[in-house]
Amino acid sequence: MKIIIDRYDGTQHYKQAYVVDKKDIEGKTLLSLLLFIKQNLDATLNFTASCRSAICGACGVRVNGHSVLACDEKMEELLATYDNPEVITVSPLANFRVISDLVVDWEPSIENLRKIRPTFIPKDEFSAEKGCKQTQAEYDKIQKQWDCILCGCCASECSKLTADSSDYMEPFVFTHAHRATFDSRGKDPMLHAKAAVLGGLWNCVHCQECADRCPKGISAADDIAALRVFTQKQGINTGEGPDHANAFLTDLVEGSGRLNEILLALRSEGAMAVSKTDIALKLMGAGKMNPLHIFGEEDIEGHKELVEMIKAARAAADKE
Ligand code: FES
């Protein structure tokens, strides 16, 4: 079979194909296969790895465009998922700067992690003598987020980072912000949560790719949603993101029950919505917007019951 690797030598990107026998992949993980290629076919191939046990996060790469942990992918099982198991392409993680072959630059991401202050800062009441206790229920709220191994798979898949990374941190940064914010022993949850807002908390485009591809089953998208709710409750509830979310819930879901793009844009962006007239005209042309609907639409069957359910859910959440 053929392994095509997207390589980079510091000046140019190119593809290089390596042919291996079926017996050379038997019982191997993708990482073992990369090591086999390096040791037997091409010593110049560069990639990173350490633990070989899916706990250090160093071996993230993409196979046929999707992010995986190389040490956690058994070759036979991986190939069985492809229509053409005779050829695969291995590439560096997307949305990172490539340093060499499959090695990417983590420094900007580490800098973003530093911004959300992921270290544990205990409440004043805790001391070395008293200890720093946490109930099982309190720990359960952040247990999943502790599983993040910083492999970068979520960032590699992130549609927002691919479109524009200038105003958005990596999804795993929000997962660590969630863990620090909701740690019951922490001194100041807002220290982490505010930094998440500044790092683009409201710019997530809800593609869910981060949740789909996380090798540990963590949903950064859910962590982002929880941080949004928390920061709104703490009074950080204005700006285009919160305004859009509030307008969507109160004006559309609880209002008419229909998606009214004109009303949503006006409520979310105010006068700035006028700058998107060209988009509105295109939506109208495609039959996706009816300008008359800004003045109201007929009732939808079952909508009143839906609104009651939302009210009940909100009351239950407030009690928590
Ligand atoms: S080598 Fe550590 S996670 Fe793969």
Whether 54 is in the pocket of ligand 1, judged by its Cβ within 6 Å, is yes
Place of tokens 């809800």: 206
Residue 91 confidence (pLDDT): 98
From first to last of its 320 residues, what are the pLDDT tens digits of the chain? Answer: 999 999 999 999 999 999 999 999 999 999 999 999 999 999 999 999 999 999 999 999 999 999 999 999 999 999 999 999 999 999 999 999 999 999 999 999 999 999 999 988 889 888 777 788 899 999 999 999 999 999 999 999 999 999 999 999 999 999 999 999 999 999 999 999 999 999 999 999 999 999 999 999 999 999 999 999 999 999 988 888 888 888 888 878 888 787 777 777 777 777 666 666 777 777 777 776 677 766 667 778 888 899 899 889 888 877 77
Q: How many CB atoms lie within 10 A of CB 265?
A: 22
Q: For a substitution probing ligand 1, which of 50, 74, 103 has the most ligand atoms within 8 Å of its CB?
A: 50
Whether 113 is in the pocket of ligand 1, judged by its Cβ within 6 Å, is no
Whether 148 is in the pocket of ligand 1, judged by its Cβ within 6 Å, is no
Burial (0-12, 13-18, 19+ Cβ within 10 Å), 38: middle
Whether 71 is in the pocket of ligand 1, judged by its Cβ within 6 Å, is yes
Question: How many angstroms separate the alpha carbon of residue 300 from the centre of ligand 1?
Answer: 52
Task: Give helix 171-181 / helix 189-198 axis angle, nearest 10°.
Answer: 160
d(CA 295, CA 188): 45
d(CA 304, CA 254): 8
User: Which atom of ligand 1 is nearest the CA belonging to 50?
Assistant: 1
d(CA 175, CA 199): 12
234 CB-side CA count, 13 A: 16
Angle formed at CA 16 by CA 13 and CA 20, multiple of 5 degrees: 155
User: Which atom of ligand 1 is nearest the CA belonging to 70?
Assistant: 4
**Secondary structure element (H or E) that encloses residue 224, with its range:** helix 220-233
d(CA 31, CA 37): 10
**Secondary structure element (H or E) that encloses residue 69, with its range:** strand 66-69
Question: How many angstroms separate the alpha carbon of residue 308 from the centre of ligand 1?
Answer: 48
User: Which atom of ligand 1 is nearest the CA belonging to 56?
Assistant: 2
d(CA 126, CA 62): 44
Whether 58 is in the pocket of ligand 1, judged by its Cβ within 6 Å, is yes
Whether 39 is in the pocket of ligand 1, judged by its Cβ within 6 Å, is no
List, in order, residues 6 or more apart from 215 with CB less than 8 Å away: 54, 68, 69, 72, 151, 153
Whether 60 is in the pocket of ligand 1, judged by its Cβ within 6 Å, is no
d(CA 149, CA 279): 41
Radius of gyration of the chain (CA): 24
Whether the CB-CB separation of 284 and 291 falls below 8 Å is answered with yes
Place of tokens 């992918």: 73
Same fold yes or no, 2-103 and 106-233: no
Domain boundaries, the chain: 2-103, 106-233, 240-319
Whether the CB-CB separation of 79 and 3 falls below 8 Å is answered with no
d(CA 216, CA 207): 18
Torsion sign over Cα 257, 258, 261, 263: negative
Whether 69 is in the pocket of ligand 1, judged by its Cβ within 6 Å, is yes
Question: How many angstroms separate the alpha carbon of residue 81 from the centre of ligand 1?
Answer: 22
Residue 94 confidence (pLDDT): 97
Whether 61 is in the pocket of ligand 1, judged by its Cβ within 6 Å, is no
Let me know if domain 106-233 sits in CATH 1.10.1060.10: yes
CATH fit for domain 2-103, picks 3.40.50.200, 3.50.50.60, 1.10.390.10, 3.10.20.30: 3.10.20.30
d(CA 103, CA 59): 9
Whether 79 is in the pocket of ligand 1, judged by its Cβ within 6 Å, is no
